[in-house]
Chain A
Amino acid sequence: GAGVSQSPSNKVTEKGKDVELRCDPISGHTALYWYRQSLGQGLEFLIYFQGNSAPDKSGLPSDRFSAERTGGSVSTLTIQRTQQEDSAVYLCASSFWSNQPQHFGDGTRLSIL
């Protein structure tokens, strides 16, 4: 596609539920990144993929967070047993290769009630 696509754009769920966020990178981009942005804050790195491998998952806040990427394209970020502190905008970015310019999607705004 023309740009990084994320879905859903908004997600409201109850505390304790599981959520799945999707990212479709720019066609041909081999690297994919997940970041989190809390209200009025900077971007916090979560995990990145080169192809289907995740060389760096150091930013995942807890074992409730997991991500996968299959076929070197679409990635899903899963949050289990959501907590209120998980409320944030989850941003996905992609680049042609690692350490190349990253282009962001519009994000998923996650609200935990």
Chain B
Amino acid sequence: GENVEQHPSTLSVQEGDSAVIKCTYSDSASNYFPWYKQELGKRPQLIIDIRSNVGEKKDQRIAVTLNKTAKHFSLHITETQPEDSAVYFCAAGGGTSYGKLTFGQGTILTVHP
């Protein structure tokens, strides 16, 4: 089955800096890669996603890049703000286990004012 590795496990940045979180996946058939933000005690919220026919997608301060050959994808947050502090999860889906998402272990992002 699919296996998703996420790094780093914790990330601390100053307000205004950029943050990058990286994930690798194992199933070359996976074709859908969402990112979720989860604040303490809250539900995971979808912030951006990308499909395998696209190399990059951007939404305001957030961007995701995908390298199918290397089987890795990354989340980029620019001009970070304290309210960006949360746990971020990457996931992969649509492969041999069509429908389900396999999640990474999460990255705790802390943005210091």
Residues on A close to B: CB < 8 A?
31, 33, 35, 41-45, 48, 50, 55-56, 58-59, 91, 98-99, 101-107
Can you give 14 A-B contacts (C-beta < 8 A)? A33-B101, A42-B6, A42-B103, A42-B104, A43-B89, A43-B103, A55-B98, A55-B99, A58-B97, A58-B100, A91-B43, A99-B31, A101-B34, A102-B46
> How far is A104 from B34 in the complex, measured between Cα atoms in Å?
13
Q: Pick the residue among B34, B43, B93, B103 that contacts A106 (CB under 8 A).
A: B43
> 4 tightest CB-CB pairs across the interface, nearest first?
A98-B99, A43-B103, A99-B94, A104-B43
Q: Please judge, given known A-B contacts A42-B104, A45-B102, A48-B100, whether A102 and B89 are in contact too, CB under 8 Å.
A: no
Chain B residues near A98 (CB, 8 Å)? 98-99
Interfacial residues, chain B to chain A (CB-CB below 8 A): 1, 6, 31-32, 34, 36, 42-46, 49, 89, 91, 93-94, 97-106
Asked if residues B46 and A33 are in contact (CB atoms below 8 Å), the reply is: no
CA distance A80 to B44 in the complex (A): 27
Excluding A42-B105, A107-B43, 11 further A-B contacts by CB distance (< 8 Å) are: A31-B99, A33-B99, A35-B103, A43-B91, A45-B100, A56-B97, A56-B99, A58-B100, A99-B93, A104-B43, A104-B44
- B55: min CB distance to chain A, Å: 19
Tell me if A102 and B101 are in contact (CB < 8 A).
Answer: yes
* Complex CA–CA separation, A105 to B38 (angstroms): 12
Check if A41 sits within 8 Å of B99, measured CB to CB: no
